Amino acid sequence: MVKQTHTSMENIDRVLREFGAGFTNILKLNTWYKSDGSNGDYASALHQNVKVRSSYFNRPGPASTGIPLDYLCFENMLNETEVVAWMESEEPEELGNNT
């Protein structure tokens, strides 16, 4: 899971940079991670995932939710991360102008 989490975070970084943004622009992360629940596996998987994700942010970092699931959409997939980011536009958009 650690390797896939790093890969996810590197992909998120690449997309953010394409828009001139970075990890400081992230407001919230939702992460779904694969865990079968055996022998405290949920807690262990969440701890591993949080430790890696947290390493990409300055404290306190964005709001974050981790959701354990028995499976994800692909067999080898161990986690999936959704990011909500915000940045100010350099040029204000005109609202209500449909011309």
Residue range 51-64, pLDDT digits in tens: 888 899 998 899 99
**DSSP-based three-state secondary structure for 74:** coil
- This prediction has a pTM of 0.78
Q: Where are the domains of the chain?
A: 2-85
Average pLDDT, the chain: 84
- Whether residue 52 contacts residue 45, with contact meaning beta carbons closer than 8 Å, is answered with no
Overall fold of domain 2-85:
60s Ribosomal Protein L30; Chain: A; (3.30.1330)
Helix/strand/coil (H/E/C) assignment for every residue in 46-64:
HHHHHHHHHCCCCCCCCEE
> Beta 63-69 vs 26-34: how paired, if at all?
parallel
Number of H helices, E strands in the chain: 2, 3
User: pLDDT of 61-99, one tens digit each?
Assistant: 999 988 888 888 888 888 899 999 999 876 666 656 555
